[in-house]
Amino acid sequence: MDLGIKGKKAFVSASSKGLGLGCARALAEAGVDLVMNARGSDALEAAAADIRSEFGVNVETIACDVTTDAGQQAVLKAADGVDILVTNAGGPPPGMWHDWEREDFIKALDANMLTPITLMKALLPGMMDRGWGRVVNITSQSVKAPLAVLGLSNAARAGLTGYVAGTSRQVAGKGVTINNLLPGIHATDRAKSLDGGVSEKQGITVEEAKTARCATIPAGRYGTADEFGAACAFLCSQHAGFIVGQNILLDGGGVNATL
């Protein structure tokens, strides 16, 4: 399918690896020029070089922490005028509800709620002026079904979801859509780290932790970054202009709910 976005420009934050990289690659495959970002420059430069040579699009890289003021200023300078924004950042650490102090919540809110909001506030006006734009926020299945050990994620991402629910309906009339993609477990470094935590806590191997987790997923496996990226690229396509303010689960059926 021709996504109809060849020649457009996207900023994908936190995109040297994992789900962000999956989104960047799928957009590049559709002919979209990119601004990519991550803290570590080695993996970022390697990912950008692969994309340039595989898909022939322009890729600019900004190595910085997108959750900081300085990082946001740097990426926004490069992302000025983009048609597509995909927001992403690392997820908060696991723990239990009684573990976290104010500082932990502030950090999670900064990364997984206020950073995407800052990026949207900066880039939505240009998209609205030009009469076309797409925003996809990478959140989590924890928005629909809380994960006990990820209370910081449950809380911060719920805040972002509320902001998007209201904002998406205020910008849709200008040809700009905002939607959230909610990953269940996907085979990335984040999944390895979560499985490592389970292995340590339960005294089982990482492979056993992964097998046990797979048994809770109707699809019987972890998702891939390529599948996730393809869904993101579709939401950024010309065909998705009537999809507004939605929270779309990509979880292999893991969340057991009718709606």
Q: Where are the alpha helices (DSSP H) in 67-203?
A: 69-78, 102-109, 115-130, 151-171, 189-202
Residues 98-117 binding ligand NAP (CB under 6 A) are none
Residues 6+ apart with CB under 8 A from 139: 112, 157, 160, 161, 180, 181, 182, 183, 247
Calpha distance 142→251 (Å, rounded): 11
CA pair distance 157, 182, nearest whole angstrom: 10
The answer to whether 87 contacts ligand NAP (rule: CB under 6 A) is: no
Stretch that binds ligand NAP, among 59-67, 117-125, 171-179, 235-243 (CB under 6 A): 59-67
CB of 108 to ligand NAP, least distance (A): 10
Which 153-212 residues touch ligand NAP, going by CB under 6 A? 183, 185-186, 188-191
For the bound state, the minimum distance from the C-beta of residue 134 to ligand NAP, rounded and expressed in Å, comes to 19
Question: From CA 109, how far away is CA 148, in angstroms rounded?
Answer: 18
Binding mask 123-152 for ligand NAP (x = CB under 6 A): ---------------x-x------------
Q: Which of residues 205-244 bind ligand NAP (CB under 6 A)?
A: none
Closest CA to 206 of 224, 193, 189: 193
Please give the residue whose beta carbon sits closest to ligand NAP in the complex: 91
Query: Which is nearer to ligand NAP, 4 or 50 (by Cβ)?
Result: 50
Structure tokens belonging to residue 249: 């689960």
Distance CA 248, CA 31 (A): 24
Residue of the chain from 65, 114, 143, 195 that contacts ligand NAP (CB under 6 A):
65
Q: Which residue in the set 3, 20, 61, 231 belongs to the binding site for ligand NAP (CB under 6 A)?
A: 20
Tokens coding 234: 């579709």
CB of residue 231 to ligand NAP, shortest distance in Å: 13
CB of 158 to ligand NAP, least distance (A): 13
Q: Measured between alpha carbons, how far is 121 from 109 in angstroms, rounded to an integer? A: 16
Contact footprint for ligand NAP (CB under 6 A):
14-20, 37-40, 43, 65-67, 88-91, 138, 140, 183, 185-186, 188-191
